[in-house]
Amino acid sequence: MDVEQVTDELYGLRPSAFTAARDAYAAEARRAKDAAAARAIAALRRPPLAVWAANLLARERPEEAERFLALAEALRDAHRTLDGERLREASRQQHRLVAALVRTAAGLAEEAGQPVSDTVLGDVERILHAVLARPDVAGPWARGRLAAMPEAAVGFPDVPTEALTARPPAAPAKTGTTAKAEEVEKAEKAGKAGKKEKAGKATEAGDAKKKAREAKEAREAEAAAEARAEAEEARTALARRERDRDAAREAERAATAAAEEAADRLRRAEQEREDARKAAAAAEKAAKRAGTDLRAAERAVEKARSAAEAAGAAARRHRT
């Protein structure tokens, strides 16, 4: 079994259809004795609704996704080089493009029969910011195979204001007095650096605790976001099921009315048939009576004819 092809197909499905399709493919791989494929497919995670919408965007709008990835590379490069002009321009593009892509994702989800709420669209926006900042998120997203919300709130670090300004002019040539003053300044800085180093060691433990707390908060935020997305998906599914139920109820009412009308027509037709049967029976009986009467009349006519002939013969004999 081609695991890549199956993976691509699964992440193109709506989340509500993902689990059943994944389990079916895993079962098929097990029946085919392809244990590696079965394990790989069974390990695939169902994407939350926001992740599915972001994947749908990358799949259905590959050219826009390509431009977005190019912007991400430009932003990362500008941050590496602290190029103020490029940072300002890329930042302007970032805000415009993210907003446009979120709107596009909402429209695509609606067309796919899975409308999403503002909460889900907020998660889509966070995913797109993660795509800008992290290549490990950008890669799966570009293929439409992102499986989960990014683990933490992501984004580019703040850039010092001076990095966004023009480069300073070259320093003037140093005089002897200036050089001596610089040596004094360097000595003072060295002393301050020693004090800072001691202070830094004292705060390392606090920094470690802070990082652990931030990591925990990030994990909790991810779990909360996924829970919100699943709840939103459940609410959307419930609304869809209620619409289906109402439509089925209306169809049932219409079918019941049609059945009752057909039953009335059938009863009328059966009554008419019974009336016709009785009328036919009565007509048949009347025809039989008429036949009997006809035969009796024919016999009477025959007798009358015979009597008339006999009377005529007798009259002739008397005349002769």
Q: At what angle do helices 62-81 and 135-142 cross, to 10 degrees?
A: 170
Q: Which residue has the higher pLDDT, 263 or 257?
A: 263
pLDDT of residue 166: 38
The contacts found for 201-205 with CB under 8 angstroms, 24 or more apart, are: none
Distance CA 28, CA 242 (A): 33
* pLDDT over threshold 60, residue 294: yes
Give the range among 20-29, 37-46, 148-157, 158-167 with minimum mean pLDDT. 158-167
Average pLDDT over residues 183-196: 65
pLDDT of residue 158: 41
Average pLDDT over residues 9-13: 94
pLDDT of residue 180: 55
Q: Phi-psi region for residue 13, left (φ > 0), alpha (ψ -120 to 50) or beta?
A: beta
Average pLDDT over residues 238-252: 68
* pLDDT over threshold 70, residue 297: yes
- Model-level pTM? 0.49
Q: How far is CA 287 from CA 273, 293, 300, 311, in A?
A: 20, 10, 20, 36
> What six digits make up the tokens of 43?
């390990």
